[in-house]
Structure 1
Amino acid sequence: MSIAMATQIAPTRPAPGHAVIAITSLLIAVGMLRLLPLRAVLALAGSVQQVAPRHASLDVAREVIRARDWAAAHYPGRATCLDLSLTAFLIAAWRGRHVSWCIGCRFNPSESHAWIEVDGEPVAEPGMFDDPFHVTIRL
């Protein structure tokens, strides 16, 4: 059982079908990233991308993020940005939409990060515009 921090607002539960997709996507993402080499994860994600030919709108991408955040709040382990961004990518694909899955870095301070984008803009990433990350991999 996870306990939300006092400063966090509990994410609202998505529609029942979307909740199942969100939980399943999180478990698949965590499993893939823990069990497979990154090159295999990228290859699988690239093949999933072919299933979702329609680009997501910003509103759909925000719904995906809300569903992902709800699933992550109920996940008993620690989910990193790589896990969460892949989860959002998979949720969008299950819904027949495509978002870009990005992995990048920035310097001074040296950091890496993963996120999703719609039309080249990060979705639900506060602070990304002040000191942007350089995209290393984009699917």
Structure 2
Amino acid sequence: MSSLVHAAVTTDGVALLDVRRGRGRWQFLDPVGAELWSRVAAGESVEDAVEDLVRVWTLRGVDPSRVRPDLMRVAAELAKADLLVDARRPASRAAAPVVRFAGAARGTLLDQVAAQVGLAVALVLLRCLPIRFALAAARTATRLPGRTATIAEAERMHTAVRRATHGWPGRAACLEESLAMHLATALTGRRVRWVLGASFMPRNAHAWVEAEGAVIGQDAADRVWPYAAALQVERPN
């Protein structure tokens, strides 16, 4: 199983995150493409997987001369992107997480200092290096001593990171902001979960932080939830 390809699995399809290059590349597959990918990733040949799916759709009344070329095209695109491999999947959730919208929780001086340091490191990692370096730094941060952050502590750190972004050039998007929060929280002796995921309606990638099972600091205007997690960074039990 590849540790550099991650999958967000939903009823609407599968979103594959390839972190082997750049800032990470997403490939969205509809249910048919997802079934093809899952069969080949599990060890079935492309030819056998295509023919199996052609038979399935033929039984549903679809002309096989239309289905086969589409499946072969999808297979060729996945092969070109080197995505016909198995991928890591986060553990399934019992229920959708609670989403906490951004507020104005007042942080401590330590939170503010940690937020500045965390943001600086996150911006350097994500703007200057491939994303795999950011992932390595995030995983290293989980090994720092500390305990799981409470929702209130995580919300205070989110506010501190948001304020810190005002003093830096350029826009800090969800990826930069969430990584900064993950690193800054670790510097204060607490831990949160950093998550990268995707949604299908509309198709969109997102990054966020969770504490005590709740999603922290989402914008009130962003009602596209739930996103499905593809990659999670947290301290192992």
Query: What's the TM-score once normalised by structure 1's chain length?
Result: 0.83
Query: SS of the counterpart of 2:143?
Result: helix
Equivalences for residues 73-92 of structure 1 within 5 A: 73-92=166-185
User: For residue 210 of structure 2, what is the aligned residue in structure 1?
Assistant: 117
Q: In structure 2, what is the Cα distance between the partners aligned to 1:86 and 1:30?
A: 9
Query: SS of the counterpart of 2:170?
Result: coil
Q: In structure 2, what is the Cα distance between the partners aligned to 1:114 and 1:121?
A: 14
How many residue pairs match? The answer is 129
Q: In structure 2, what is the Cα distance between the partners aligned to 1:77 and 1:18?
A: 22
Counterpart of 2:133 in structure 1: which amino acid?
Answer: A
User: For residue 6 of structure 1, what is the aligned residue in structure 2?
Assistant: none
In the TM superposition, what is the alpha-carbon distance from 1:62 to its structure 2 partner?
0.6
Q: In structure 2, what is the Cα distance between the partners aligned to 1:46 and 1:64?
A: 19
Q: In structure 2, what is the Cα distance between the partners aligned to 1:13 and 1:119?
A: 19
State yes or no: 1:107 paired with 2:204. no
Q: In structure 1, what is the Cα distance between the partners aligned to 2:161 and 2:183?
A: 10
State yes or no: 1:54 paired with 2:147. yes
2:165 to 68, 72, 75: 72
Counterpart of 1:99 in structure 2: which amino acid?
Answer: V
Deviations 1:31-58 (A, max 9, x none): 0111222122112210111104410001
Query: SS of the counterpart of 1:19?
Result: helix
Q: In structure 2, what is the Cα distance between the partners aligned to 1:98 and 1:12?
A: 18
2:156 to 55, 58, 63: 63
Counterpart of 2:230 in structure 1: which amino acid?
Answer: T
1:33 to 102, 126, 132: 126
Instruction: Tell me if the contact between 2:148 and 2:190 (Cα under 8 Å) persists in the aligned partners.
Output: yes
The alignment-based identity, stated in percent, is 32
Counterpart of 1:71 in structure 2: which amino acid?
Answer: A
Structure 1 gap segments, 5+ residues each: 1-10
Instruction: Tell me if the contact between 1:100 and 1:116 (Cα under 8 Å) persists in the aligned partners.
Output: yes
Q: In structure 1, what is the Cα distance between the partners aligned to 2:133 and 2:204?
A: 23
Query: What's the TM-score once normalised by structure 2's chain length?
Result: 0.50
User: For residue 66 of structure 2, what is the aligned residue in structure 1?
Assistant: none
Q: In structure 2, what is the Cα distance between the partners aligned to 1:90 and 1:81?
A: 14
Higher relative contact order (CA 8 A, sep 6+): 1
Counterpart of 2:123 in structure 1: which amino acid?
Answer: V
State yes or no: 1:44 paired with 2:137. yes
Q: In structure 1, what is the Cα distance between the partners aligned to 2:165 and 2:125?
A: 16
Query: SS of the counterpart of 2:210?
Result: strand
State yes or no: 1:93 paired with 2:189. no
Instruction: Tell me if the contact between 2:111 and 2:156 (Cα under 8 Å) persists in the aligned partners.
Output: no
In the TM superposition, what is the alpha-carbon distance from 1:131 to its structure 2 partner?
2.4
Q: In structure 2, what is the Cα distance between the partners aligned to 1:128 and 1:118?
A: 19
State yes or no: 1:138 paired with 2:232. yes
Instruction: Tell me if the contact between 1:12 and 1:70 (Cα under 8 Å) persists in the aligned partners.
Output: no
